Structure 1
Amino acid sequence: MTAQIFDWLHVGNWREFWWVIIGLAGQLMFTARFLVQWLASEKAGESVVPVYFWYFSLAGGATLLTYALYRADPVFVLGQSMGLLIYARNLWLIHTSNQREA
């Protein structure tokens, strides 16, 4: 059974298996942000971007960056690292805006 799972995931050992699981977890978090945005927009009856969108973006992006660094994929590393700056900046803007309103 283990050999079949390893073959299906294209891994040769448990270490690689767990790295693929980390990568998949990051991708699931990253994908969840779209579900959060869609549900919030449906509830509001207009297009909105809730703060959780940015938290899922940051968590998924950081996990995917970790996986990309492990894989030593420069294209993947560059793409995820640039996104992390944008996600963090949006959260900072939201945080400072909420402080001014309080």
Structure 2
Amino acid sequence: MLMQLSEDLGGYAYDIFVTKFDGWLVFGILAQVVFGARFILQWLASEKAGRSVMPLSFWFLSIAGGLMTLVYGLVRREPVIIFGQALSTGIYLRNVALILKEERRKPGADSVP
């Protein structure tokens, strides 16, 4: 039974990473790396500040990774990815808009040094 499970998992991995290997798979993996990098960035920024922070660059990586993953989903015709990334990317864009709006409201934001 264990031997059969091992063979099944090996065949599954072979099918995903060898049989279906193409440039779009590389693009999709790169999209996930960009998307995942936002968590490393957020963690490092929080460690530096000594508290939990969400830097603006987190949202830019979210947008870049989300759009890349959305393109991947569109090319691969994956409705779960398309739906999830279209909705999420809209939320990331809205967060950036809210942050920029708040920055413009701060005293001295319009002054030229």
Same fold (TM over 0.5): yes
Give RMSD over aligned pairs.
1.7
Gap regions ≥5 residues in structure 2: 1-15
Percentage of matched positions with identical amino acids: 45
Equivalent residue, structure 1, for 2:31: 26
Whether 1:97 aligns to 2:102 is yes
**Structure 1 runs of 4+ with >2 Å offset:** 7-11
Q: Choose between structure 1 and 2 for higher RCO, CA contacts under 8 A separated by at least 6 residues.
A: 1
| Residues 92 and 25 of structure 1: CA distance in aligned 2, closer, same or farther (over 3 Å) | same
Please, what TM-score do these two structures have when normalized by structure 1?
A: 0.84
- How do 1:13-92 and structure 2 match up within 5 A? 17-92=22-97
Please, what TM-score do these two structures have when normalized by structure 2?
A: 0.76
Gap regions ≥5 residues in structure 1: 1-6
Q: Which has the larger radius of gyration?
A: 2
Q: For 1:53 and 1:10, how far apart are their aligned partners in 2? A: 34
Aligned length: 93
Q: For 2:86 and 2:18, how far apart are their aligned partners in 1? A: 25
Residue type of the partner of 1:32? A
